[in-house]
Amino acid sequence: MKAALISLGSVSSNWTYEAMKKYFEDAEHINLKDLEVDLGGKKPKVLVNGKPLEKYDCIYLKGSFRYLQILNSIASVLQNETYLPFAPQAFLFGHDKLLTHLALQQHNIPMPETYISANPSGAQKLLEKVSYPIVMKFPSGTQGKGVMFADSYSSAKSILDAMSALNQPVIIQKSLETGGTDMRALVVGDKVIAAMKRQAEEAEKRANIHAGGKGTKTELDFKTKELAVKTAQAVGANICAVDILKS
Ligand SMILES: Nc1ncnc2c1ncn2[C@@H]1O[C@H](COP(=O)(O)OP(=O)(O)OP(=O)(O)O)[C@@H](O)[C@H]1O
Ligand SMILES: [Mg+2]
């Protein structure tokens, strides 16, 4: 079996490539920046440095949010020709909390009470009607960046004033009483292959490792595993980390 990793060559991509070399007879690493999609003819093609991409049994596509349109396009062209761990739409979901929220809601995955506003001035009206504490989020943040907690209207109002400078949509969510912990389930296909409990640092509510959280290996019960798999499927990801908050 022949596989390719298409990535930007980050440290984690190199780990993925090392793992792929162990599982496939032949594995190649291609730079995403060398790819383009030719939409000119009847059949769209993916090109590498101007030449058609070879045939692979599996292609693992990976890149940052700046590349999501090209990742989505490449996956759309290749999805019927080769096995892809991620459906085209998974790239859009992966970088957008808003789209993800809608997809999960449509699949009946329980989510905290959430409001969305097109811009900070619309969010102002929401702040007057929600009950506190709340969490305010930018749709595109990750690693805990762009996630802000407010215990009262006055603190929410000052956070919103700061957010106004960026004029982006704002997500306002009920803050769940988690004691700063969450569960991260690693889903591959229809199985949870590992899980960790993340605990936020003292005086911090975000459990992300990048925000100082500590992760310890844990076992999930059957129902939580089932929920994690259902969530991964809702966003079209066959390899996926699902964060679960228990309140
Ligand atoms: N509604 C909430 N109630 C309590 N804690 C929350 C809530 N939303 C987020 N958190 C905490 O903040 C952390 C970061 O939030 P979230 O997962 O939404 O953003 P992110 O990790 O930056 O982005 P993404 O997971 O989309 O990459 C969560 O892991 C959790 O610890
Ligand atoms: Mg998260």
| Per-residue pLDDT of the chain in tens (247 residues, 90 and over written 9) | 999 999 999 999 999 999 999 999 999 999 999 999 998 888 899 999 999 999 999 999 999 888 999 999 999 999 999 999 999 999 999 889 999 999 999 999 999 999 988 888 888 999 999 999 999 999 887 888 889 999 999 999 999 998 888 888 899 999 999 999 999 999 999 999 999 999 999 989 999 999 999 999 999 999 999 999 999 999 999 999 999 999 8
Q: How far is the CA of 54 from the centre of ligand 1 (A)?
A: 39
Q: Which residues line ligand 1 (CB under 6 A)?
A: 97, 112, 135, 137, 141-145, 147, 173, 175-176, 178, 182, 205-208, 243, 245
Tokens 């790239």 locate to 91
**pLDDT for position 167:** 82
Please report, for the chain, the start and end positions of each structural domain, with discontinuous segments joined by +. 2-84, 113-174, 178-244
Of the residues 95, 205, 246, which should be mutated to test ligand 1's pocket, given the most ligand atoms within 8 Å of the CB?
Answer: 205
Q: What CATH architecture does domain 2-84 belong to?
A: 3-Layer(aba) Sandwich (3.40)
Q: Which atom of ligand 1 is nearest to the CA of 97?
A: 26
| Ligand nearest to the CA of residue 112, numbered in listed order | 1
Q: Which atom of ligand 1 is nearest to the CA of 178?
A: 4
Q: How far is the CA of 55 from the centre of ligand 2 (A)?
A: 35
> Domain 178-244 in CATH: superfamily?
ATP-grasp fold, B domain (3.30.470.20)
Q: Enumerate long-range contacts of 19-27, CB under 8 Å, 24 or more apart.
A: 20/60, 24/57, 24/58, 25/1, 26/1, 26/2, 27/2, 27/3
| Ligand nearest to the CA of residue 95, numbered in listed order | 1
Question: Atom 16 (ligand 1): residue with closest C-alpha?
Answer: 144
- Residue 26 DSSP SS3: strand
Specify the CATH class of 113-174 in words: alpha beta
Question: Atom 10 (ligand 1): residue with closest C-alpha?
Answer: 206
Return the number of other C-beta atoms located less than 10 Å from residue 162's C-beta: 11
Q: How far is the CA of 45 from the centre of ligand 2 (A)?
A: 34
The reply to whether domains 113-174 and 178-244 share a CATH topology is no
**pLDDT for position 74:** 97
- Residue 91 DSSP SS3: helix
Of the residues 12, 135, 198, 247, which should be mutated to test ligand 1's pocket, given the most ligand atoms within 8 Å of the CB?
Answer: 135
Which phi-psi region, left, alpha or beta, contains residue 179 (left: φ > 0; alpha: ψ -120 to 50)? Answer: left
